[in-house]
Structure 1
C-alpha cells in the first residue's frame, strides 16, 4: 500500500529531521528550502526537490512548514496562494496563539485546512515516541492525516482553536525555562564551591522529580482560587529567601533568576497572602495585584 506523499518546506535542524523521518518511514517526500543545498542529502536519499514553493505545494496534499518564524511562514503561504486549495497545511513553526489564528485565516482563505503544531521535542527526538507534537485547528484534517503525522512524534490534538497548540507550547516551555533557571543557579553555586557538578546533578534530578508532585495540586488550587496551606506558606518562604542571596553573594554567584521570584513573594506577603501557598503567586502574574482578593 502506497503511503501518502508529504511536502516539507524549511530544512533547518528541525525541518531536516521532519523530512528525514517522513522519508525513512516510506512517505514520498518533496522538500524545498531557500538555500537549496540543504536538501542535497535528502534528495540523495530519495526525496524530491521542488524548484519553488508553488511546485512544493503541488507535490502533496499535506504541506508542512518548519521555518524560522511566523513571518517567514506567512510569506511562504502567500507565495503558494491558491495552489493550497484542497490541501492541508501543518505549521510546525514556533509562534504565538494569535499568529496561529491569523495564519489559519490566511490558509482558509486559500481554500485549505490549517493545523498549528507545537513541537515538544528537540530535532534528534523526532521519530521517537518520546517526542510530542501538539496540534490544534481543523479537526477533520488531523483525523485524516493522523497516521502520517504519527511517524514524527506522539500526536496530541488539543483544540479546534488554532491558537491553542501555540499556547500550550509556550506555557510548557515557560515551565521548562523556569525550572532550568533554578538548575543554572544551583549548578553555579555548587561549581563555585569547588564541588563537581556531575556529582551534585543527580541530587537535583531526584529533588525536582519529587517536587513535581505539587503541580497537579497547584493547578487545582488555581482553578478553585483556594490557596490555604498548612505545609509551606508564602510568609515562611519569604522569611528564608534572603539566605539564598547571602549564600550566593558569598560564593560569587549572580542572583538574576532568583530576584523576580523574591519580588513576587514579597509582594504577595505585603498584600496579605502570607498564609497562602506558593501557588498564590499565579494570581499576581495573571492580573493586577489590586484586583486579587486575599484568602480568608
Structure 2
C-alpha cells in the first residue's frame, strides 16, 4: 500500500499526522527541524531526513507549511514527484497556489489544493472543513484520504478556488473578532453587564458562535495555547487584501483592521491566540 508523506509538523500538521496514523495510514514525516517530528515518529510515523527521496513510494504528499513561498521552496527540493499528488493544506494566495500547481506539473506530479478550516481539535476528530481545488478526477482519487480528515470534503472548483474560499473565511475570522471586541468594550464602558449584552445578542441574527467561543478569553485576557495565532491571522488578512485588490474590489473598510493588526507585529501578541487582537482595541495598547 503506497504511503502518504506529511511535510510540516507544527500544531495543525501534527494533528493531521496523528489522525492519519489513527486511521491506519502509513505515514512518512518531515520537518526542517527534525525534533518536531519526534511525537509522530513515536506514534508510528517514519522519519524522512532527505526530501529528495521522499516522493518515492508515496501516492500523496501533504504539505502543512507556513505560507506559499516556503511551500514552493520545500516542494522544489522533492524533485521528481513520480506521478504522485501534492496536496497543500496550508493557507496560500490564489496566485501562489496556481504557481505551485505549475511547478508541480513540471516536477511530474499533480496538485490538489486542500486548505482547511479548523485546527487541532477538529483535525484529531476528523472534522476539518476541506475546500479542495483542482480536477474532479484527482479529487475523487484523493477523497478516501480526505475523508479521514473531514466528514464531507468539498471540491469548490479549479486550482485557486480553494485558496479564495479559505481567504474569504479567514477574513471573516478577523472581521468578526474585531467587531465583537469593539462592541464588547463599548457596552462594558457604558456599564452594561456582559451577560445582559450576550443574552440580547445570542438569539439575534447578528450572533456568531465564535463570539461565545472567544468571550471568556477576552474577558480574562487569557490568550495562551492558541490553535491559530495573531501572526497567522495578520498574514492571511494581508493575503486577502492583496487578492481583493487584484480582483478590483474596494478594500478601504478592511485596511484599518490591517493597520491595527500591524501593531502586534513583533510583540508578544503575535504568538498568542488570534483573539488577542482584543488587546489592540484598547486605546492604551
Same fold (TM over 0.5): yes
Instruction: Select which of 183, 198, 202 maps to 1:201.
Output: 198
Partner of 1:81: helix, strand, or coil? coil
- The match for 1:150 is 147
Instruction: Select which of 213, 236, 249 maps to 1:286.
Output: 249
- The match for 1:37 is 35
Distance 1:57 1:202, change over 3 A: farther
Partner of 1:145: helix, strand, or coil? helix
- Matched residues in 2 for 1:202 and 1:40: separation? 46
- Matched residues in 2 for 1:210 and 1:198: separation? 14
Instruction: State the structure with bigger RCO (CA 8 A, min sep 6), 1 or 2.
Output: 2
Is 1:183 paired with 2:180? yes
- The match for 1:168 is 165
Q: Which has the larger radius of gyration?
A: 1
Instruction: Select which of 85, 88, 91 maps to 1:88.
Output: 85
> Does the CA contact (< 8 Å) of 1:119 and 1:134 recur in 2?
yes
Partner of 1:57: helix, strand, or coil? coil
Instruction: Select which of 6, 17, 22 maps to 1:8.
Output: 6
- The match for 1:56 is 54
- The match for 2:19 is 21
- Matched residues in 2 for 1:18 and 1:39: separation? 12
Distance 1:199 1:21, change over 3 A: farther
- Matched residues in 1 for 2:49 and 2:172: separation? 41
> Does the CA contact (< 8 Å) of 1:117 and 1:165 recur in 2?
yes
- Matched residues in 1 for 2:202 and 2:115: separation? 26
Alignment map for 1:242-253 (pairs within 5 Å): none
**RMSD of the TM alignment (CA)?**
2.5
Q: Cα offset for 1:191? A: 2.7
TM-score norm. by structure 1 comes to: 0.66
Q: Cα offset for 1:128? A: 3.6
**Matched length:** 213
Q: Cα offset for 1:163? A: 0.5
